[in-house]
Structure 1
Amino acid sequence: MSDIYAAPAANLDLPRDDDPEAGSLERGIAGDYTFTIGEVLKEAWARSEGAKLTLNLAMLAYVVIYLAAAGIAEFALTPLIEEQPLIIAIALIIFQQLFLLAIALPLAVGIFILGVRRAASAPIAVAQIFNHYHKLLSLLGANILMTIAIFIGFALLVIPGIYLAIALMFTLALVVEKSLSPLAALSASRKAVHVRWFPIAGFCLVLMLINAVAAIPLGIGLIWTVPFSVIACGVLYRRIFGCEPETLA
C-alpha cells in the first residue's frame, strides 16, 4: 500500500518551535533574517510527509465552497443584473464580487495558516480553515488596498507592480497571524520582503515552476506539489516573522 498519506515519522533534524531560525515581527521588519531557497524547500518537503491529505482536503473544501457560493450568486443576482440600468447593474456586480471575496478570502488565508502551523510543528486539521472569519473586515480592507497598490504598480510600467506583488505577499497572513491592521500589514510585509526581495522572488518562481511541471501529466503531480508549496510558504513565513502562540494553539 502506498505511504503517500502515512503518518509523519519523527524527524529530529527539523527545527523546533523555539529554534533560533524562527523570526519575529520586529526582526522581520528590520530584515534580520536569513534563508536559502534550498533550505526552505528541503524543510518543506520533510514536513509534507503526513500532511498532504489534510492540505488537499482543505483545498478541496475551499473549491467546493467557492463554487457553491459562485453558483448561488449567479442564480440570485445575474437575472436581476440584466434587468437593471447600467449604474445599478455595475453596483450589483461589485456586490457579487465582494460576496464571493468575503466567502473565499478567510478560507484561502486559512490554508496559508495551515502551512504556517505545519512549519511550526503544530497539528493541522481541515476545519481550521474556517477559523478566520472574525477578521473578515480587516482581510477585505487589506486585500482591497493590496489590489489597488499592485494595479497602480502595473500601470506604472509593470515593474513596480511585479515588485509589489512579491513585497506584499504576506499581508493577509499578517492580518490574521499578527492581528495587524490592513495598513500595518501592508507596511510590515513590504519592509520585510524588500530587504531580500530577489531571493524571495526566486523562491516564488521556483514554486511556480515546480507546480507548472507537476500539472503537465493531467495535474496528478499537484497532489504532492501544492501541499508542499503551502508548507514551503509557511516555512518562509516562520523564518521571517515567527509564529504567535495563538496561531499554534
Structure 2
Amino acid sequence: MSEKYQIQIGGDLEKALTGKYELNIKAVLEEGWQNTRTTKWIMLQGILLSVALSYAMLTFLLPTHNLVELASLETQINPLWAMVITILITPIMTAVQMMGIKHSLGGQSQFNDLFRFIPNILVLGVTELATGLLVNVGLSLLILPGFYLLIATSFAIQLVAERQLSPLKAIWYSIRTVNHKLWQFGLLFILFVALMLLCVFTLGLAYIWVGPFYYNVKGILYRNIFGTLIKFETHAGQSKEKTKDESVFDA
C-alpha cells in the first residue's frame, strides 16, 4: 500500500500575487551561473532541437538551398503556418524552462525530459500564442509597452506547466506578480539583452552559456516567487525521510 503526498519548496503563489516575495538579483544570478556550469549541455539540446524543428518546417514550407535566404523568407510565411510552428516547438521549450526549475531544486535533467510536455501541446501552444500576440500588439503601439509585456508575461508558460492554470489566468497571475517588482525585473531584462548582444558579437558562441543561464535563472526566480510542488509516494514500510531522498521533481 502506498501513500501520496506533496511538499512545497520556495515561495507561495498567493503571496506572490500580493508582492510578498523577495527578489535578490545578485543571489539569483550567482545560483543560476552555478547551476549552468553543470546543466548547460542538456538545456542546449532542447534549444537546438527547437531550432532544428523550426527550420525543418520552414524548409518544407519555403524551399530554398541557402540558410541566409531562408532567414529572409521567414517573414513571408503564412501567419497560420507560423502559429503551427510555434505550437510544435512550445512543448520542447516549455521542458527547457521546467528544467530550470528542476535544477533549482538540485535535480538532474535527462534527454527524455524534453518530451514530457508534448501531451499538453494544445494548452501550452495557446498560452505561447496569447503572450506573443500581447507582446506584438505592445510593440506595434509604442515599443515600450511591448517590452513591458514581454517581461510581465514571462512566467505564464511555467504557471501553466507546473500549476496547470488556464492560459488567461497564468498570464494574468504573471503580470500581477511581476508588476510588484517591475524595476528589478527590468534590470534583469536589460542584463540578458546585453548578454544576447554578446552572443551576436561572438557569432553565437556565447549562447552556449547565455541560453542555459537564462533558463536556469528563470527557474530559480519561479521557485523563489511562486514555490514548487514536489510529489512523493511512500510505500508500506518506507519512511518519508527515505522517500524524500529518493524522490525527483515532478511538476
Question: Shorter-chain TM-score: which interval?
Answer: 0.7 to 0.9
- Give the residue type in structure 2 aligned to 1:102: I
CA distance in 2, matches of 1:62, 1:223: 15
Where does 1:68-87 land on structure 2 (aligned, <5 Å)?
Answer: 68-74=56-62
2:170 to 185, 201, 217: 185
Q: For residue 27 of structure 1, what is the aligned residue in structure 2?
A: 15
Change (3 A) 1:52 1:238: same
- Give the residue type in structure 1 aligned to 2:211: V
Residue 239 (str. 1) matches residue 224 (str. 2): yes
Change (3 A) 1:155 1:214: closer
Contact 1:28–1:240, Cα closer than 8 Å, also in 2:
yes
> What value does the CA root-mean-square deviation take over the aligned residues?
2.3
Report the alpha carbon displacement of residue 71 of structure 1 after superposing the two structures with TM.
2.4
Contact 1:115–1:233, Cα closer than 8 Å, also in 2:
yes
1:140 to 121, 125, 139: 125
CA distance in 2, matches of 1:154, 1:98: 18
Q: For residue 130 of structure 1, what is the aligned residue in structure 2?
A: 115
Q: Secondary structure at the match of 2:38?
A: coil
- CA-to-aligned-CA distance 1:134-169 (integer Å, 9 cap, x gap): 222212222232233233333443333322221111
Residue 208 (str. 1) matches residue 171 (str. 2): no
Corresponding residue pairs, total: 216
Q: Secondary structure at the match of 1:245?
A: strand
CA distance in 1, matches of 2:214, 2:129: 25
- Give the residue type in structure 1 aligned to 2:53: I
CA distance in 1, matches of 2:214, 2:130: 25
- CA-to-aligned-CA distance 1:198-219 (integer Å, 9 cap, x gap): 1011112112212322442333
- Of 133-142 and 150-159, deviating more is 150-159
Report the alpha carbon displacement of residue 18 of structure 1 after superposing the two structures with TM.
6.8
CA distance in 2, matches of 1:48, 1:100: 28
Residue 225 (str. 1) matches residue 210 (str. 2): yes
2:49 to 50, 53, 61: 61
CA distance in 2, matches of 1:58, 1:120: 19
Change (3 A) 1:60 1:151: closer
Richer in strand (by share): 2
1:151 to 136, 152, 162: 136
Residue 51 (str. 1) matches residue 52 (str. 2): no
Contact 1:69–1:103, Cα closer than 8 Å, also in 2:
no
Q: For residue 165 of structure 1, what is the aligned residue in structure 2?
A: 150
Change (3 A) 1:95 1:34: same
- Give the residue type in structure 1 aligned to 2:27: E
Q: For residue 234 of structure 2, what is the aligned residue in structure 1?
A: none
Change (3 A) 1:194 1:70: same
- CA-to-aligned-CA distance 1:169-223 (integer Å, 9 cap, x gap): 1111111111000111011101110000110111121122123224423332222
Contact 2:39–2:212, Cα closer than 8 Å, also in 1:
yes
Q: Secondary structure at the match of 2:78?
A: helix
Give the share of equivalent positions with the same residue, in percent. 24
Q: For residue 106 of structure 2, what is the aligned residue in structure 1?
A: 121
Unaligned 5+ segments in structure 1 are: 1-16, 76-89
Q: Secondary structure at the match of 2:99?
A: helix
Q: Secondary structure at the match of 1:121?
A: coil
